[in-house]
Structure 1
Amino acid sequence: MTGLAIHIVDDDAPFRDSLAFALMAHDFDVTSHGDPAAFLLALPEDQPACVVCDIRMPGLSGIEVARALRARVVPVHVILVTGHADRDLVARATEAGAMLVLEKPFAPQRLIEVLVGLAY
């Protein structure tokens, strides 16, 4: 669909796989990652991308991932997802560089609409 690579970073494999399937059904180029630290090491510095990342994971949190991505050569769009959102968490996510926080469960169509907007 676009040259924008979509990376899903979540320690919950069924969620990751389900979301990847929904996005690939809409012709997005999707890669899934279960380990946030390994993902950060593997992502090329100069690749335009959108990262859909869980906030609460073992090791690095989604907020820490967003902070690390904010320093990239090419800007990376970050969408954080969580099962437990509150105002403080959303504020911290936004300060870290997240453009959006979605609360699980969310309709994949909502994310698809956001991604289509980023792609054009």
Structure 2
Amino acid sequence: MTTSNTIPQYDASHYAVVDLGSNSFHLLIIRVHNNERIQVNKVKRKVRLAAGLNQELALNPETIASGLDCLKLFAKHLATIPVNNISIVATATLRIATNKDEFLNQANKILPLNIKLF
């Protein structure tokens, strides 16, 4: 796990998965070498999207900002990984949020690949 402010450089042997969950955002980076998958980095941030939903199921501005800040960190890690080696998915909260487009439009400008809703 990376703890310093220095962002590692990756290459075409690296693959990344970003999971935008209801409570936490996760980034997992692996390296494939000799058909073996080796975890090289894992970053987890508690964003608490679900807690940021109001009664109308809209995300509040603070929660949106927190999520986008996390994605800016993740984007630094993803910058040197080929886009074809990246998968970015969001789960329940972004699927049901009535203002999900507000979040997704900004997030997709930060990330190297558009978010898929599952």
More helix by percentage: 1
Higher relative contact order (CA 8 A, sep 6+): 2
Q: Per residue, is there more strand in 1 or in 2?
A: 2
Q: Same fold (TM over 0.5)?
A: no
**TM-score of the superposition, structure 1-length normalised?**
0.37
| Bigger radius of gyration | 2
